[in-house]
Chains A and B, each alone.
Chain A
């Protein structure tokens, strides 16, 4: 038995080596020559994305300079039956760009030109490797910006943002990536360029732009993007409020929105995060606050000031013990520092943490946070919460010690339980980070087999051979059946906390 297993392992290795040689020969023939990384040392930086709990060495990494080279790679891989994993800046935290040992890693970072900024038409044409923040920097002289601003915006790429349908802290008012795109050009697995969307405000036929956005590298290799630029607001007002309970802060969120105000941002932090920030940055928050709410309103000056007054009144009415209003840009920056620096501050608690990304109906916020704390206690792990309260998008950070055996697995299991709790109250397992490999199991909780099958059918429309990022984003039906069976079992047997995967 053991000998047979070993034999088939050797066969697999030999097959991989053989396939690697063929792929390498084929890609070396690409003209003009394609940048190929084939040595172990050079491949190391590509072993993982920002979902660092898992790593894998790709067969090869290639860095195309343009669409023609990217197409050569897709065609070669299809013809040789080799998987292609597309990678942008590698900042994804659900493992969508983790390579496969039997596949080519298609790294888009060299395609990083801002091709055009048309201020009059309020749009920018960019290559996929352009960093998010560069678009807004380039548009700023025209009084415009690119609204989606994931916290990794200084390093993450627009191509990756499209692939993940990234959010950010200003989604409530400005929308997700999907709301801020005009056109995406992508190569399907046949190597055909699919021009989805367009410069008009709609396109004929099915909304392929919607399908490509958030498809996690499964439907196409994005080679060019037209993003929508919006006017920079004339005035921005930022408020920070401390609350004696999470429940009161959550109530304030509902009240603000119920009053007809759509804030540009509405972010919450709980006590664990507040204390970490306080230790790390000394921002002088009132001691004993259980929750901080950061609210931002923007618009023309008079409008932003009016909205700021209204928000302040609501915060106070809902029991805020202290409300700070930024008097100027410098103070605004300081208030944001707690939110933007939160993850860095959290790393001072324990170096390893794992960020969850569930979304729930906003009214369930206090209850879901209670549930998160209860589950964390059950698993004996610490959890801090810093999240987009206005969107109902929670980001519990689960702390673990990578050196403690079993800690990571327990953290992952706790994360899974939290996501399932989100689904139970009518929410979703991922608001903006994507499924990747991280949440494949929870996909089976959120979707029926027929729905999972529909996703596979959508993929097959773009990728009949199944070479584009296979195994990510959508689980196989077989895996779902296994997983569902084990959940039922886990519910029945007393030691359900034993890691099973």
Chain B
């Protein structure tokens, strides 16, 4: 019953907790740049814990070990014309070393997110080993499950600070029958306005991004639905559409090249253009504003907060400003208590998210 990798992992974490040796949890290492700098006395490699445990296309449920390459999972899904609907970034080129554990731990979703949902929305269950070296299972392999607190979703985006993810079950969805990308030449304010307007209509939107005076909108679905939507929306078809969204998701567009700090502002989608003096790329139908350059962290964080969100110093050579928006005192209090509950010795990915 007990998986030998997981048993060994439990022993290793127990020993580390006793010796107070911190652990840096690592999948494929494609998101080492994300969050505060990874540190730890030892590196806990998860790549060897790989493989699809169960996949039943008719159940729309997929269970995989954390070290499984994202590309392997996507290939298996594509063979059944299904997908991970939250569009996880691969980063670091092709083939990407990104693993499922990293996908969930980072909690990052791609351009489809506003219309399909985020990583956490498709997590049905997780198996973890907590900082006490206990193997725990939360959620399950069924679509609806309200037994116990939703600890499995809590793991999405927790950056491995509460537990080492060993296995994840996802809800998956059929791939859309067809997709078309439309392009509109508009300024940023109009692009944000249009994207929000359309999102309130029964249109099959699956992505909306703006850069350099062009709003691109992707439609996904049955051909008649797409044809009907095109008739209402106008615009020109962008033949390079499919490749554009992948390049946006994996940050291979020209906007993302070079070493200047990259800021990610996650804000209410209807927020008018922020800090218009800086060049930016808008994704998530207005919900994400990417900015480049040596910018004033405090000013960006204030602007993001006023817009209902938060600012992340996504990638930068110097993250002294802190990767993530500081938390309100009451929220921070809960974070510290949760961290102490799951990882009392404070050995899992210390400092990767905040100062714990």
Best-buried of A179, A198, A233 by chain B (most CB within 10 Å): A198
B201 touches which one: A143, A172, A199, A434 (CB < 8 A)?
A: A143
Tell which of A74-82, A239-247, A458-466 binds the partner.
A458-466
**A192 near B60 (CB under 8 angstroms)?**
no
Cα distance A231–B114 in the bound complex, in angstroms: 14
Which residues on the A side are within 8 Å of B47 (C-beta)? none
- How many positions in chain B have a CB within 8 Å of any CB in the partner chain? 86
Listed by A's residue number, 5 A-B pairs whose Cβ atoms lie within 8 Å are A171-B143, A179-B121, A201-B288, A299-B222, A435-B146
B145 touches A428 (CB 8 A): yes
A443 touches B (CB below 8 Å): yes
The stretch from A212-220, A275-283, A335-343, A493-501 touching chain B is: A212-220
Asked if residues A455 and B148 are in contact (CB atoms below 8 Å), the reply is: yes
Closest 10 CB pairs of A and B: A200-B309, A199-B308, A302-B224, A457-B341, A210-B153, A461-B337, A431-B144, A260-B174, A199-B268, A192-B330
Contact pick for A206, options B56, B147, B157, B200, CB 8 Å: B157
| Interface residue from A192, A218, A458 paired with B151 (Cβ < 8 Å) | A458
Instruction: Tell yes or no: B212 within 8 A of A by CB.
Output: no
**Complex alpha-carbon distance, A85 and B72, angstroms:** 48
Mask, B162-180, CB within 8 Å of A = 1, is: 1000000000011101000
Which residues on the B side are within 8 Å of A413 (C-beta)? none
Residues of A within 8 A of B57 (CB): 258
| Alpha-carbon distance A255/B59, docked complex (angstroms) | 10
Q: How long is the Cα–Cα vector from A460 to B340 in the complex, in angstroms?
A: 11
Residue of A164, A210, A211, A257 with most chain B CB atoms under a 10 A cut-off? A210
Task: Give a binary string over B146-161; 1 marks a CB under 8 Å from any A CB, 0 the rest.
Answer: 1111110110111000
Set A193, A215, A302: member contacting B149, Cβ < 8 A: A215
Check if A205 is an interface residue, CB within 8 A of chain B. yes
Given A232-B202, A359-B145, A460-B337: A254 and B136 interface contact (C-beta under 8 Å): no
Asked if B120 contacts A200 (CB within 8 A), the reply is: no
Question: Once bound together, how far apart are the Cα atoms of A121 and B121, in whole Å?
Answer: 20
> Which chain B positions have C-beta within 8 A of A439?
147
In the complex the two chains form, what is the Cα distance from A450 to B129 in whole Å? 11
Contact of B142 among A143, A198, A260, A359 (CB under 8 A): A359
Q: Which of A34-42, A315-323, A360-368, A374-382 contacts B (4 or more CB under 8 A)?
A: A360-368
A210 in contact with B199 (CB, 8 Å): no
Least Cβ distance of A362 to chain B in Å?
A: 5
Q: Is the CB of A143 within 8 A of B138?
A: no
Contacts of A232 in B (CB 8 A): 202
A273 at the A/B interface (Cβ < 8 Å)?
Answer: no
CB-CB under 8 A for A300 and B204, given A194-B330, A194-B334, A210-B153:
yes
Chain A residues whose CB sits within 8 angstroms of the CB of B328 once the complex forms: 195
Is B134's beta carbon under 8 Å from chain A? Answer: yes
CB of B120 within 8 A of CB of A203, answer no
Chain B positions within 8 Å of A306 at CB level: 222, 224
**A79 → chain B closest CB, angstroms:** 18
Q: Are B342 and A454 in contact (CB under 8 A)?
A: yes
Chain A residues bordering chain B, tally (CB within 8 A): 98
Q: How far is the CA of A363 from the CA of B117 in the complex (A)?
A: 25
Do residues A443 and B197 form an inter-chain contact, with CB atoms below 8 A? no
B199 nearest in chain A by CB position: A122
Residue A138 CB within 8 A of the other chain: no
| Choice from A175, A303, A447 contacting B221 with Cβ under 8 Å | A303
Q: In this complex, what residue of A is CB-closest to B82?
A: A260
Residues of A within 8 A of B353 (CB): 205
| A104 adjacent to chain B (CB < 8 Å) | no
User: B335 to A202, Cβ gap below 8 A?
Assistant: no
Across the interface, do A201 and B228 meet the contact criterion of CB distance under 8 Å? no
Expressed in whole angstroms, the Cα–Cα distance for A188 and B332 within the complex equals 13
Report how far A60 CA is from B57 CA in the complex, Å: 52
In the bound assembly, the distance between CA atoms of A353 and B333 in angstroms comes to: 44
B270 closest partner in A (C-beta) = A121
The answer to whether A200 and B222 have CB atoms under 8 Å apart is no
Question: Is B324's CB within 8 Å of the partner chain A?
Answer: yes
Chain B 295-317, CB within 8 Å of chain A: the 1/0 string? 00000000010011110100000
A105 at the interface (CB under 8 A from B): no
- A427 contact from B121, B140, B203, B266, Cβ within 8 A: B140
With A300-B225, A461-B334 known as contacts, the answer to whether A204 contacts B150 (CB < 8 A) is no
Contact at B147–A219, with CB atoms within 8 Å? no
Mark B57-92 against chain A: 1 for CB-CB distance below 8 A, else 0. Answer: 111110000000000000000000100000000000
Query: Which of A176, A215, A458 sits near B338, CB closer than 8 Å?
Result: A458
Q: Which of B324-352 contact A (CB under 8 A)?
A: 324-325, 327-328, 330-331, 333-335, 337-338, 341-342
Q: Could you tell me if A362 and B327 are in contact, using CB atoms closer than 8 angstroms? A: no
B196 within 8 A of A: yes
Q: Which of B81, B144, B147, B309 contacts A176 (CB under 8 A)?
A: B144
Q: Using a CB-CB cutoff of 8 Å, which residues 256-292 of chain B contact chain A?
A: 266-270, 284, 287-288
Q: Cα distance A193–B227 when bound, in Å?
A: 47
Q: How far is the CB of B284 from chain A (nearest CB, A)?
A: 6
